[in-house]
Amino acid sequence: MTPASIITTLTRLVVPIALLFLLYAVDQRAEDRGMQKAQAQHSAAAVQRLEFSIERSGQLAGQLGQILDRNQLEKADAKTAFDRLDSDLRSGALRLSVRTTAQPGGNHGAAAGPVQARADIDPADAAALVRITEDGDNAIRDLNTCIDGYAQVMRQANGGQR
């Protein structure tokens, strides 16, 4: 074999192999671009979902803030009313009494029958009862606020259904 025929034979072998490698490289680049495009679309969709979630979270935070503000207003109004009641009880302007039954003339016999009477509660004890009531009312207000907040979160999580 002559050197010219060897070169011709090698050229015939190398050129198709080189073309195959070139086609493979072009195909890989196209596939990479396709994957990059798919990743970009996926990323864009993820960013869109994230923006939507952030917007909904902001709306939810505003709604929960309104619920908490309403709770604070109701507590302040109730405190004013309880403070006025406490002041009136302590000053004697208002009295708290309970029903009792007493026998007329001190007779403990059943023939005369019971007579309804009232007994005043000491002003300090009456004020203590009012404070207990105030604490209970505040606890109920806080619980209702918690329930309202939970319901709002659930409505938001369920897409505004219910």
List pLDDT tens digits, range 2-58: 777 777 776 777 777 777 777 777 787 878 888 888 888 888 888 888 888 888 888
Q: How high is the mean pLDDT of the chain?
A: 83
What is the token pair recorded at 71?
A: 């709770």
SS (H, E, C) 101-119: EECHHHCCCCCCCCEEEEE
Residue spans per domain, the chain: 3-100+116-157
Q: Tell me what pLDDT residue 160 has.
A: 59
Summarised one tens digit per residue, pLDDT across range 120-135 is 999 889 989 999 999 9
Euclidean distance between the first and final Cα of the chain, in Å? 89
pLDDT of residue 147: 93
At residue 157, does pLDDT exceed 70?
yes
Kindly report whether the global pTM for this prediction surpasses the value 0.85: no
List the one residue out of 76, 68, 88, 92 whose CA is nearest residue 137.
Answer: 76
Examine the pLDDT at 162 and tell me if it is beyond 50: no
